[in-house]
């Protein structure tokens, strides 16, 4: 059960989170979004990704893998906004929990929740029209060998799109920036620049169609942290939001933000070289 009483009314919360840059996200119940978040506002980040990924051009009922879907908010967004047939894949959230949320949202026939590990995806080559990952790919996708094992799941010409917390430029040296040291987490070393990700994906055998920085994304991140620190029903998320929010406020966009990446599977990304070696090789 939630362990705090909301500080603001539902109407005031909705007004606070209504954002001109994210009109589709504005139509979702703000209290539902707050209750089911697991980091930065995933709906805002997915809405920023959508035009670069070409989600509006997908065929009806296109098959989309939502990798690292968390509590399946992004999966609901994909089904509702883009008429997609979604596989909602996550390691940490019980499929039964996501199935309940999905059914309550009215998409039980369109979204399949699964528990999977990103390095052991039980899908055939060419299973998906698109792959989406919001605020998750940085935890497993920095491996030089990873991207080909994922893009083989796309149909030829299919696209993968991710949004990741990022650094404006690559880290200099082995110490974090001085102004971020009070809040530094070891996980943040997996934040990289748009140029770094572009090189990584080019080497991974996709045609990179977008690798860009979200202008003023730190302001969105800070607003969201402030809201979660006050309104989340979970103490863990309130504590983390306060800590991250302090770092983002101190940084003021000098270092921390978000990068959007879109890549298209090319013909030469198909075949044995896109398979991770096994002990039998």
- Side-chain-side CA neighbours of residue 236 (13 Å): 5
The total of structural domains in the chain comes to 1
Domain assignment of residue 278, yes or no: no
Domain assignment of residue 3, yes or no: no
What is the Cα–Cα distance from 240 to 221, expressed in whole angstroms?
Answer: 13
The range of the structural domain enclosing residue 72 comes to 10-266
The arithmetic mean of pLDDT across residues 112-137, rounded, is 98
The arithmetic mean of pLDDT across residues 212-236, rounded, is 97
CATH code assigned at 95: 3.40.50.150
Domain assignment of residue 54, yes or no: yes
Q: Tell me: pLDDT of 277 over 60.
A: no
What is the Cα–Cα distance from 255 to 210, expressed in whole angstroms?
Answer: 20
Tell me what percent of the residues of the chain surpass a pLDDT of 70: 93
Q: What confidence score (pLDDT) does residue 8 get?
A: 87
- What φ, ψ does residue 131 adopt, rounded to 5°? -125, 135
Domain assignment of residue 119, yes or no: yes
Coil vs helix vs strand at 69: coil
pLDDT tens digits, 242-256: 999 999 999 999 999
Q: What confidence score (pLDDT) does residue 136 get?
A: 98
The arithmetic mean of pLDDT across residues 216-226, rounded, is 98
Residues 75-88 as b/e (b if ≥16 CB within 10 A, e otherwise) read: bbbbbbbbebbbbb
What is the Cα–Cα distance from 89 to 118, expressed in whole angstroms?
Answer: 9
Q: What confidence score (pLDDT) does residue 278 get?
A: 45
Q: Minimum mean pLDDT among 54-68, 87-101, 230-244, 261-275: which range?
A: 261-275
Domain assignment of residue 273, yes or no: no
Q: What's the Cα-to-Cα distance from 16 to each of 7, 8, 109, 211, rounded to whole Å?
A: 13, 10, 33, 29
Q: How confident is the model at residue 209 (pLDDT cuts 50, 70, 90)?
A: very high
- Phi/psi-derived region of residue 207, left when phi > 0, alpha when psi is between -120 and 50, beta in every other case: beta
User: How do beta strands 206-213 and 256-265 pair?
Assistant: antiparallel
Q: What confidence score (pLDDT) does residue 7 get?
A: 78
- Average pLDDT value over all residues in the chain: 94
Q: What confidence score (pLDDT) does residue 80 get?
A: 98
Domain assignment of residue 276, yes or no: no
Domain assignment of residue 81, yes or no: yes
The arithmetic mean of pLDDT across residues 215-229, rounded, is 98
Q: What confidence score (pLDDT) does residue 269 get?
A: 53
pLDDT tens digits, 133-165: 999 999 999 999 999 999 999 999 999 999 999
pLDDT tens digits, 179-200: 999 999 999 999 999 999 999 9
Domain assignment of residue 29, yes or no: yes
């Amino acid at each position: 059960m939630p362990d705090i009483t909301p500080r603001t009314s539902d109407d005031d919360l909705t007004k606070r989170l209504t954002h001109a840059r994210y009109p589709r996200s504005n139509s979702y119940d703000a209290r539902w979004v707050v209750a089911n978040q697991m980091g930065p506002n995933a709906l805002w980040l997915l809405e920023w990704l959508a035009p670069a990924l070409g989600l509006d051009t997908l065929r009806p009922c296109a098959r989309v893998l939502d990798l690292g879907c968390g509590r399946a908010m992004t999966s609901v967004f994909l089904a509702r906004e883009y008429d997609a047939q979604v596989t909602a894949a996550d390691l940490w959230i019980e499929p039964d929990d996501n199935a309940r949320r999905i059914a309550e949202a009215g998409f039980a026939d369109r979204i399949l929740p699964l528990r999977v590990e990103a390095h052991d995806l039980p899908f055939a080559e060419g299973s998906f029209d698109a792959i989406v990952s919001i605020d998750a790919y940085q935890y497993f996708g920095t491996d030089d060998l990873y991207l080909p094992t994922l893009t083989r799941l796309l149909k030829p010409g299919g696209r993968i799109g991710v949004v990741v917390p990022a650094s404006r430029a690559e880290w200099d040296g082995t110490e974090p920036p001085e102004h971020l040291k009070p809040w530094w987490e070891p996980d943040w070393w997996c934040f990289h620049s748009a140029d770094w990700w572009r090189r990584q994906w080019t080497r991974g055998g996709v045609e990179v169609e977008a690798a860009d920085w979200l202008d003023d994304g730190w302001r969105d991140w800070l607003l969201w942290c402030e809201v979660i620190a006050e309104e989340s029903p979970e103490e863990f998320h309130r504590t983390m939001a306060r800590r991250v929010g302090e770092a983002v406020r101190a940084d003021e966009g000098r270092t921390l933000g978000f990068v959007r990446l879109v890549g298209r599977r090319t013909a030469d990304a198909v075949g044995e070289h896109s398979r991770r070696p096994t002990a039998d090789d």
